[in-house]
Structure 1
């Protein structure tokens, strides 16, 4: 079903928010919108809701499976405002958000659904999950100028690191169980990335509650939501495999002519399987076996 605005969706589409987990997909452009929707449908989300301009097309087989909400600029503040509005309208459900050409992977996702994973995470007394945004890019930018190619996708196998997250309200002491993570294209081409956008960590999966607010840096106003683990042991983490940075670097006139290829000696072909991400240490199974 198609809704003409977020307001109409919140007024008449509440049944799609009655039970989670719900996936919110924000289409910033028309690149790989259909594959993004199909991927998240395959993970077992109760509802997949696409926010996109009216001019974007959706494949016929997705029309009956996904809810479509018309939004002219589904990025930046409008995206955060939408997540916050849905969080307020649908308390106590699990919500996931991402952009087009981004694909969620979690441990064992080939044989276990998102609901099963979040049931375990809930039993661990966790209300949010840290995800690492892992940059994907085409193997050959001469053949694929926009850097998006599912069949030749590559990722960096190394070059990831973490720094303490300092608390400006507490004399810059490190926050407990919080780190800022870096790596991928945002690290290798950092001269083209604003300093406040170089992190690759994102709290992409969370349980809604009253007064919860998504911040500009993809953290929340509840600091416990921003932790990578509970105080007792390591918890599950997930990965959002994303062409978004590669697209931006090749579409921005300030960077596109400085970048001939993204591939380097630490590039490996993306296998589209959670085992590869686990082996590379790009997500954590925690106590879930």
Structure 2
């Protein structure tokens, strides 16, 4: 199922948006694109859209399982525009978005589908879920020069923190139930990261509705979507483990020569299991057991 661009998909393939949850994967490069698609297909998404240039080749076991939509990176970062167009075309459906070499984890994801998790979340009258983007990096940069390795992946076990999110429309008083989260490589190498890109929070799972729009800073026009919990108790949160920052830092000429290794005393091997992320406090099960 291949479409020349998003306009073509929305005119001829929009039936794929009839049942959610729906995943959108934006391919910045071919790195671990196939494993990203396999991971989200295995999670139970009813449809997976992959936005990728024509010259990116997909593996035989995933090419017929996804909806491939032409995506021209030369025109700049079109993610916000494309997500908003899908929102407008799929009101009422749960949507998710990420980049290649990023993998969604949620509590008990090894035994429960993303649809089951979102059904519980919706019963708690929640239409969005906070995700933390947790940086992964290869332990041996001499062997893995782009800092990406599924078999040799590490993450930071400490160093995460949150700050109040000021409201410019209310004399910069903190917004209710909203925080800016920081940590990982964006914190340890912040001199190489522009300030607007240092946050690690992303509302990656959300229910589309009429008039809703995603903003450039990964927040939504409806402020309730940007909250980490409801007023009554803590809610589920998820994690997106991501090689994206490590890859950028090692491929960027301005930072690559300053980094011989990403490992430090608080590095630990990633076990590719939700229990590790729960134990480290990098996602929250809320009332779901």
TM bracket (short chain): over 0.9
Q: CA–CA distance in 2 between the matches of 1:118 and 1:264? A: 36
Q: CA–CA distance in 1 between the matches of 2:170 and 2:125? A: 26
The secondary structure found in structure 2 opposite 1:122 is helix
**Stretch moving more, 6-15 or 66-75:** 66-75
Which 5+ residue runs of structure 1 have no aligned equivalent? none
Specify the alignment match of 2:109 in structure 1: 109
Query: Which consecutive aligned stretches of 4+ in structure 1 deviate over 3 angstroms post-superposition?
Result: 74-77
Whether the 8 Å contact between 1:27 and 1:74 is mirrored in structure 2 is: no
Q: CA–CA distance in 2 between the matches of 1:201 and 1:74? A: 26
Which 5+ residue runs of structure 2 have no aligned equivalent? none
User: TM-score, normalising length from structure 2?
Assistant: 0.99
> Structure 1 residue 76: deviation in Å?
5.9
TM-superposition CA deviations, 1:146-171 (whole Å, max 9, x none): 00000010000000000000000100
Specify the alignment match of 2:268 in structure 1: 268
The secondary structure found in structure 2 opposite 1:34 is helix
Does residue 124 (structure 1) correspond to residue 124 (structure 2)? The answer is yes
Q: CA RMSD in A?
A: 0.9
C-alpha change, 1:76 and 1:243, in structure 2 (3 Å) is farther
C-alpha change, 1:247 and 1:204, in structure 2 (3 Å) is same
Specify the alignment match of 2:258 in structure 1: 258
TM-superposition CA deviations, 1:77-128 (whole Å, max 9, x none): 4111000000001101000000000000000000000000000000000000
C-alpha change, 1:126 and 1:76, in structure 2 (3 Å) is farther
Q: CA–CA distance in 2 between the matches of 1:34 and 1:75? A: 23
Specify the alignment match of 2:41 in structure 1: 41
C-alpha change, 1:241 and 1:27, in structure 2 (3 Å) is same
Number of aligned positions between the proteins: 289
> Structure 1 residue 72: deviation in Å?
1.3
The secondary structure found in structure 1 opposite 2:73 is coil
User: TM-score, normalising length from structure 1?
Assistant: 0.99
Does residue 218 (structure 1) correspond to residue 218 (structure 2)? The answer is yes
